[in-house]
Structure 1
Amino acid sequence: MILREWEKLPEFMKCAEVREYYKILSKKRGSLILKRFFDVVISGILLVILAIPMGIIAVMIKMDSRGPVFYRQERVTTYGKHFRIHKFRTMVSNADKIGSVVTVGNDSRITRVGSKLRGLRLDELPQIFDVLSGNMSFVGTRPEAVKYVEKYKPEYYATLLLPAGITSEASIRYKDEAKLLDAADDVDKVYVEEVLPGKMKYNLDALKEFSIIKELVLMIKTFLAVIK
């Protein structure tokens, strides 16, 4: 993982707000390379270990409801690149066409098996494929849907200097995000104006304090949070 030269960044990212974070990360290029090495090695090992459990989950999803095994929504990662994320499908087929992109706690679109997978965050397992491809990392800002990235403030673009992540401090703090949005009349509006700014504070702080050690600690915190 090598940080691009400033001149080669997309034009929308070349702003003073992003420059502050770019300067911090440019001094840690060695750690960024090590981060990518770690992602490739660990994701390869996990694929071998989790191949059978993921196969069992895939069968459960197909038996529980009609539709594909994977949910492939378009998300945004490094430098604004669009990609289709891998997640186990936890909702009825075409759920994003009959409701909001974000999910609330009592969402009727969630399937029976999907509810179990979400509770244990097992729906995130296929993102190992996205880590191997380089579209994601184990730790980083959760990949947002295109419609929300289009509403980013200039400073938020700094999170696109690094790949999107499977977990982050923000995702731990907002693990009950669906419940927070339960009472909202306009889910998208509340998410953009209230939830997203809160998550971005943690994401931007993580960029300022980036280190491999901190990321390893965060992965352990994520595991403990899921177990709890």
Structure 2
Amino acid sequence: MAKRLFDVLAAGIGLLVLAPLLLLIAAWVRLDSPGPVLFRQERVGRHGRPFLIHKFRTMRVEPGPLITIGQDPRITRSGAWLRRSKCDELPQLWDVLRGAMSLVGPRPEVPRYVALYPPALRDQVLAVRPGITDPAALAFSHEAELLAAAGDPEREYVEVILPAKLALSARYAAEASLATDLRLILQTLGRLLGRQLTR
């Protein structure tokens, strides 16, 4: 109950405070390339229920792989900045407010990759709401670069990165508390601020 109340208050305040920035980003995305402002994709949520995740669109609207590899040619000019700053994730505050996500929780995957989860870990990870950040998101913030360096990016993701992320997410789900969430939020904000200051 305390976690959900915190999520609602923080997401609601965040959407109100960031409203001018969200409008500016939406206009930039719209003017930068043809297509919708928001990217919507089916992900697997709590207890295995599917939901649509919302992000600012960072790529041109064309077919491509589910994973983003390095300097993907589909990435737009606005999308490159949004990805670096992680501002493309801001619309997920709405997903938190409506109850599909939490501020902190295992990052939600597409059904194709959730089908590869070992049953025991699947049940543990999907027992909690997915989140905007978690230990796996922090540990693999450079995931696109790792995939770009791999000879077979899809295989690297499925056999190396996904199991490592899943183990971190399962550990979070087993140990989660409001104090843990606050620490991860501060770590995430610190990481993002440090990234901006070093550019």
TM-score interval (norm. to shorter): over 0.9
User: In terms of mean alpha carbon deviation, does 186-195 or 165-174 score higher?
Assistant: 186-195
Q: Distance in 1 between matches of 2:137 and 2:185?
A: 11
Offset, 1:87: 0.2
Note the 1:36-115 alignment, pairs <5 A: 36-94=4-62, 97=63, 99-115=64-80
Q: Distance in 1 between matches of 2:4 and 2:154?
A: 33
Q: Distance in 2 between matches of 1:204 and 1:84?
A: 22
- Code of the residue aligned with 1:101 in structure 2: it is L
Offset, 1:107: 0.7
Normalised by the length of structure 1, the TM-score is 0.82
1:152-201 superposed Cα distances (whole Å, 9 cap, x missing partner): 11132111001110000110110000000003343222211110111112
Offset, 1:102: 1.1
- Code of the residue aligned with 2:160 in structure 1: it is E
Note the 1:146-225 alignment, pairs <5 A: 146-157=111-122, 158-225=124-191
Offset, 1:46: 0.8
Partner of 2:91: 126
- Code of the residue aligned with 1:110 in structure 2: it is I
Question: Is residue 72–residue 85 contact of structure 1 (8 Å, CA) maintained in 2?
Answer: yes
* Unpaired runs of at least 5, structure 2: 195-199
* RMSD (CA atoms): 1.0
Q: SS at 1:91's partner residue?
A: coil
- Code of the residue aligned with 1:73 in structure 2: it is Q
Q: Distance in 1 between matches of 2:75 and 2:125?
A: 29
User: For this pair of structures, how many residues does the alignment match?
Assistant: 193
Q: Distance in 1 between matches of 2:173 and 2:38?
A: 30
- Code of the residue aligned with 1:129 in structure 2: it is W
- Code of the residue aligned with 2:176 in structure 1: it is F
Q: Distance in 2 between matches of 1:67 and 1:186?
A: 30
Question: Is residue 100–residue 187 contact of structure 1 (8 Å, CA) maintained in 2?
Answer: no
Question: Is residue 106–residue 173 contact of structure 2 (8 Å, CA) maintained in 1?
Answer: no
Normalised by the length of structure 2, the TM-score is 0.94
Partner of 1:12: none
- Code of the residue aligned with 1:58 in structure 2: it is A
Question: Is residue 89–residue 123 contact of structure 1 (8 Å, CA) maintained in 2?
Answer: yes
Matched residues, percent identical? 44
Q: SS at 1:67's partner residue?
A: coil
